[in-house]
Structure 1
Amino acid sequence: MANVKASPQFIRLCNQFSRILGGEHEIDPGPVCFVSRARRLNATILGRRTTSPLVRYQLFSFESLDKSGRALCLGETALFQNQANRLIRNLQRNGIKVTALHNHWLNDNPRLMYIHWESIDNPIAFARKTKRSIAFLG
Structure 2
Amino acid sequence: MGNDSKRDLCSEFARILDGDASFMNGVCLVQRFRDIPFKILGRRTNSPLVNPQFFTFENLDSKGNALNLGETVLLQVEVNPLLTELRKRDLIVTAVHNHWLFENPRAMYMHFESIEPPLEFARKVREAFKVLKG
**TM-score, normalising length: structure 2:** 0.95
Structure 2 distance, partners of 1:104, 1:8, is 36
- Which deviates more from structure 2 when the two are superposed, residues 68-77 or residues 7-16? 7-16
- Which deviates more from structure 2 when the two are superposed, residues 48-57 or residues 17-26? 48-57
Deviation, 1:126, is: 0.2
Structure 2 distance, partners of 1:81, 1:13, is 33
1:35 equivalent in structure 2: 30
Q: How does 1:16-55 map to 2 (within 5 A)?
A: 16-29=12-25, 31-55=26-50
CA-based RMSD: 0.9
- Size of the alignment, in residue pairs? 132
Structure 2 distance, partners of 1:38, 1:101, is 18
Structure 1 distance, partners of 2:33, 2:101, is 22
Structure 2 distance, partners of 1:136, 1:89, is 10
Whether 1:75 aligns to 2:70 is: yes
Whether 1:95 aligns to 2:93 is: no
Structure 1 distance, partners of 2:81, 2:131, is 9
Q: For structure 2, which runs of at least 5 residues remain unmatched after alignment?
A: none
Whether 1:8 aligns to 2:7 is: no
User: Aligned letter for 1:60?
Assistant: F
**TM-score, normalising length: structure 1:** 0.92
Structure 1 distance, partners of 2:7, 2:29, is 11
Deviations 1:8-37 (A, max 9, x none): 2211110100000000010011x0000001
Secondary structure of 2:50's partner?
helix
Conserved in 1, the CA contact under 8 Å of 2:81 and 2:131?
A: no
- Which deviates more from structure 2 when the two are superposed, residues 118-127 or residues 8-17? 8-17
Structure 2 distance, partners of 1:84, 1:100, is 11
Structure 1 distance, partners of 2:52, 2:100, is 15
Conserved in 1, the CA contact under 8 Å of 2:78 and 2:131?
A: no
Task: Report runs of 4+ in structure 1 exceeding 4 Å deviation.
Answer: none
Seq. identity, %? 48
Structure 2 distance, partners of 1:118, 1:109, is 28
Deviation, 1:7, is: 2.1
Secondary structure of 2:73's partner?
strand
